[in-house]
C-alpha cells in the first residue's frame, strides 16, 4: 500500500537507518503505483529518500511528475518538503518545478517560516532561479515580523539568496 511504503521510508529516515537495497525496492515498487499515492505520501517518501541521501531516478521522475500534475492538491508542507528533497539530492526537472513553484506562489501566505526557508533553499541547491517565485517568496518574507523567524530559517534564507545572487528591493 502507498501509505505503508511512505511510512516505511519516513520511519527509516527518521531513525537514519539506511538500507539502500531495501529502499531501492520500495522506490521501484512505489514508482509503479505513483498515481495511487496521496500528495503527503509522495512528499514523505521523497523526503525520506533524500534524508537518507538516496537518489533513485525512477522514483524522483515519477513522483515529480505526479506532484506537478496534482500540485493544486498539495498543502504547503508537501510542497516545501518536496523542494527541500529536490535540493538535497540535486534533482533538476524544470517541467516539474514550474507547476510546483506556481502552487507555492498561490499558497504563499500559508507557508510557515521554516517552509518558506526550505523552499528557497531547495531552489538554490538546484540553481533554479525563477524571478517570479523569488519575488513572491521575498515579499512574503518581508511582510512577516522578524520574531517569527528562527536563526536557522534566517540563515537558510540568506544563504539561498546569496547562492541565487538574489536581493529583494522592497
| 112-159 pLDDT tens trace | 999 999 999 999 999 998 899 999 999 999 999 999 999 999 999 999
Which residues, other chains included, contact 28 with Cβ-Cβ below 8 Å and sequence gap of 6+?
A: 56, 58, 59
C-alpha cell, 78: 508537501
- pLDDT at residue 167, rounded to an integer: 85
H or E stretch covering 115: helix 113-125
The Cα 145–Cα 93 span in angstroms is 33
Cα–Cα nearest to 68, from 103, 20, 19 = 103
Lowest mean pLDDT of 97-106, 111-120, 160-169, name the range. 160-169
The confidence band for 92, taking pLDDT boundaries of 50, 70 and 90, is: confident
Residue 164 · residue 123 · CB < 8 Å: yes
Read off the pLDDT of each residue in 61-80 and give the average, rounded to a whole number.
95
What is residue 144's DSSP assignment? S
Read off the pLDDT of each residue in 56-80 and give the average, rounded to a whole number.
95
Read off the pLDDT of each residue in 51-56 and give the average, rounded to a whole number.
97
Percentage of the residues of the chain whose pLDDT score is greater than 90: 89
Amino acid at each position: 500500500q502507498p501509505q505503508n511504503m511512505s511510512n516505511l521510508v519516513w520511519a527509516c529516515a527518521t531513525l537514519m537507518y539506511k538500507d539502500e537495497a531495501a529502499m531501492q525496492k520500495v522506490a521501484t515498487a512505489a514508482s509503479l503505483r505513483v498515481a495511487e499515492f496521496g500528495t503527503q505520501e509522495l512528499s514523505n517518501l521523497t523526503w525520506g529518500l533524500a534524508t537518507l541521501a538516496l537518489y533513485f531516478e525512477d522514483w524522483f521522475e515519477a513522483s515529480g511528475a505526479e506532484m506537478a500534475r496534482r500540485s493544486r492538491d498539495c498543502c504547503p508542507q508537501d510542497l516545501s518538503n518536496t523542494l527541500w528533497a529536490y535540493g538535497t539530492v540535486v534533482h533538476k526537472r524544470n517541467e516539474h518545478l514550474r507547476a510546483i513553484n506556481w502552487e507555492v506562489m498561490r499558497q504563499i501566505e500559508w507557508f510557515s517560516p521554516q517552509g518558506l526557508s526550505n523552499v528557497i533553499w531547495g531552489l538554490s541547491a538546484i540553481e533554479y532561479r525563477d524571478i517570479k517565485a523569488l519575488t513572491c517568496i521575498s515579499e512574503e518574507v518581508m511582510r512577516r515580523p522578524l520574531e517569527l523567524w528562527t536563526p536557522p530559517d534566517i540563515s537558510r534564507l540568506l544563504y539561498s539568496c546569496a547562492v541565487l545572487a538574489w536581493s529583494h528591493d522592497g
